[in-house]
A = this chain, B = another copy of it.
Amino acid sequence: MTTADEVIPADYRDLLERPLYGHLATARRDGGVQVEPMWFEFDGEFILFTHTSKRQKYRNLMANPAAALSVNDPDQPYRFLEVRGVLDHVDPDPEGAFYRQLARRYGREDQAPPDAADRVILYIRPTATAQQ
């Protein structure tokens, strides 16, 4: 299996390591697409997102595991990385621990989310990139 190390260009990896917002696209079951800004973290193998099992994006990914993430460099607006991938697995996060980890990464208040009971961690496996 191709590893994330082989997929993510080394000179664009900083865009996954810095606490930048990523815009995550998924396929809707009505044939459309959707995209929203999201916190994320790259663990070297997967791109992780905090989400809940009650939302549209979760239902989208259960029906079609395709995802794509766009991150641009606020310091050089022409510079961006798109990572395409697939949902590999989902872990429960019932205490909101991963949510809190991301909140700290993004400089936000470290407290459990009100919807902790429904919180999950989405693990997206990168399969391809485009960059400029």
User: Is A80 positioned at the interface, with any CB of B under 8 Å from its CB?
Assistant: yes
Q: How many residues of A contact B (CB 8 A)?
A: 28
| Residue pair A130, B36 in contact (C-beta under 8 Å) | yes
B31 contacts A70, CB within 8 Å?
no
Task: Answer yes or no: A34 CB below 8 A from chain B CBs.
Answer: yes
Contacts of A66 in B (CB 8 A): 28, 31-33
Which of A18-26, A42-50, A92-100, A110-118 lies at the interface? A18-26
Pairwise interchain contact B27-A70, C-beta atoms closer than 8 A:
no
Chain A residues proximal to chain B, CB less than 8 Å = 21, 23-28, 31-37, 64, 66-70, 72, 74, 77, 80, 82, 84, 106, 130
